[in-house]
Structures are given as structure tokens and as C-alpha cells.
């Protein structure tokens, strides 16, 4: 059976946390998606100045985190592609692999304005609709106002969506691990266990 609507959730996922999962589930329900594919970044073009954890760890943690949701899956398509990954190429590859009728791209409301500086943005917005999920500290009204500056055909392709706001970020989780503070209830227990078993985030990465 052909998939009708699929969303891509892109990110570094270093590590994946409940903010990502809640946003993805909220979007899935709201847009009646048949699948959400989490795509951990290989070498994110916007984060080249940071050291990020090995791809195999980020892939493993994301796989563990989504295992309990039948609508979620993980793809290694960016990780196994050499060089930096552009969202445009990822979206093309998702159309090729899954053959959906429509692709959505889920992003945090903070990241959405950055999109406009992305590689092949006009073509990208033609190929997929962006869903900007709320993130604490990022007012959706503010985003809507900023979007007014864009040409109308682009505004229509970026849809703001309010999801339960979780003030969780991967960088905060990494800092907490380093400082010996608890990360329990910020991310799935299986991911917490993985972090401790593999000794992740003990060193000062960034």
C-alpha cells in the first residue's frame, strides 16, 4: 500500500529526548500522518564547529527511543551519505525510498527561520511542507509575524503548530550528564541507560 503522508524529523539527536518525541507525536496526530521518520544528521552543515557524538551512538539511541511507537521509525540515510547532508537531498531520498504522496518536515519553531537561508530553499518548499513545532521561549505569534515578511507562496508552506512545550534540549542534557545531575524523565529510560553504559557526554564536547 502506498503511503499517503509521511513526516521527516531531522536533528542531531545527541541525544534524542522527550521534546523531540512529543513534537513528532503531536504533528503525527494533527496531520494524520502514517509515518514519522527520524533522520539523525551525518555531518550537519550548521553544526560543523561542534564536535558531535559518533553517528552509531546517535542512531542507536534514536532507534531505542522510537521502538515503542508503531508510527515512528529511524533512517540512516543521512548518516550513510558522505559529506554534509542537505535537507533537500534528504527529502528527495525519502520520496524515492518510501514513495509517499506528501512529505512534511518537522522542525522546532526556533529553527524554522533559519530554513530560509538553506540550500535550494524554494525547491525544498515546493517538495515539502514545513511544520514549525513550538519550543519553549519561542512565541508562535512572533513566528507568524516574522513569516509575514515572506512571499505568500512560501508562507503557505510553513505551518506553525503548538505542541506541549517541553523545556528540554540535548545540550542541557549533555551538560547535566557532565555535571552529574539527573536526566531521568527528560528522555526515555532506554536512552538514559545507553548513555551511561557507553559513557557518553562525560567529556567536555562543547
Residues near ligand ATP, by CB under 6 A: 11-14, 19-20, 23, 107-108, 110-111, 133, 135, 166, 168-171
CA–CA separation, 135 and 167 (whole Å): 7
CA atoms of 102 and 2, how far apart (whole Å): 11
CB of 12 to ligand ATP, least distance (A): 4
Cβ proximity to ligand ATP, 35 vs 105, nearer residue:
105
* Beta carbon of residue 67, minimum distance to ligand ATP (angstroms, whole number): 18
Closer by beta carbon to ligand ATP, 47 or else 120: 47
Q: What is the DSSP string of 43-60?
A: S-GGGTTS----HHHHHH
**In the structure grid, which three cell numbers stand for residue 87, read together?**
535537507
Report the C-alpha gap between 71 and 170 in whole angstroms: 23
Q: How far is the CB of 52 from ligand ATP (least distance, A)?
A: 8
For the CB of residue 2, give the shortest distance to ligand ATP in the complex, in Å.
27
Q: How near is the Cβ of 111 to ligand ATP at its closest, in Å?
A: 4
Angle at 120 (CA atoms; ends 117, 124), nearest 5 degrees = 100
Which CB, 94 or 168, lies closer to ligand ATP? 168
Name the residue number minimizing CB distance to ligand ATP.
108
For ligand ATP, the closer of residues 18 and 95 by Cβ is 18
Q: Which residues is 9 bridged to in the sheet?
A: 38, 106
- Work out how close the CB of 9 gets to ligand ATP at its nearest, in angstroms, rounded to a whole number: 7
**CA 177 – CA 183 distance, rounded (Å):** 7
Nearer to ligand ATP, 13 or 201 (CB): 13
Give the burial class of 184: count Cβ atoms within 10 A of its Cβ; 0-12 exposed, 13-18 middle, 19 or more buried. exposed
Comparing CB distances to ligand ATP, the nearer of 4 and 119 is 119
Q: Which residue has the cell 552543515?
A: 45
β partners of residue 184: 187
Amino acid at each position: 500500500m502506498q503511503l499517503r503522508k509521511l513526516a521527516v524529523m531531522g536533528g542531531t539527536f545527541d541525544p534524542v529526548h522527550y521534546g523531540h518525541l512529543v513534537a513528532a507525536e503531536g504533528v503525527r496526530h494533527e496531520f494524520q500522518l502514517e509515518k514519522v521518520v527520524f533522520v539523525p544528521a551525518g555531518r550537519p552543515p550548521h553544526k560543523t564547529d561542534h564536535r558531535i557524538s559518533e553517528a552509531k551512538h546517535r542512531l542507536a539511541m534514536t532507534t531505542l527511543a522510537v521502538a515503542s511507537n508503531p508510527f515512528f521509525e529511524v533512517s540512516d540515510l543521512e548518516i550513510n551519505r558522505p559529506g554534509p547532508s542537505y535537507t533537500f537531498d534528504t527529502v528527495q531520498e525519502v520520496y524515492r525510498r518510501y514513495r509517499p504522496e506528501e512529505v512534511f518536515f518537522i522542525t522546532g519553531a526556533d529553527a524554522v527561520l533559519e530554513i530560509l537561508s538553506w540550500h535550494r530553499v524554494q525547491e525544498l518548499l515546493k517538495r515539502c511542507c514545513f511544520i514549525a513545532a513550538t519550543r519553549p521561549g519561542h512565541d508562535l505569534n512572533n513566528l507568524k509575524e516574522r513569516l509575514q515578511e515572506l512571499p505568500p507562496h512560501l508562507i503557505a508552506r510553513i505551518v506553525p503548530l503548538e505542541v506541549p512545550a517541553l523545556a528540554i534540549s540535548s545540550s542541557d542534557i549533555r551538560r547535566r550528564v557532565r555535571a552529574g545531575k539527573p536526566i531521568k524523565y527528560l528522555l526515555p529510560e532506554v536512552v538514559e541507560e545507553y548513555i551511561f553504559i557507553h559513557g557518553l557526554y562525560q567529556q567536555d564536547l562543547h
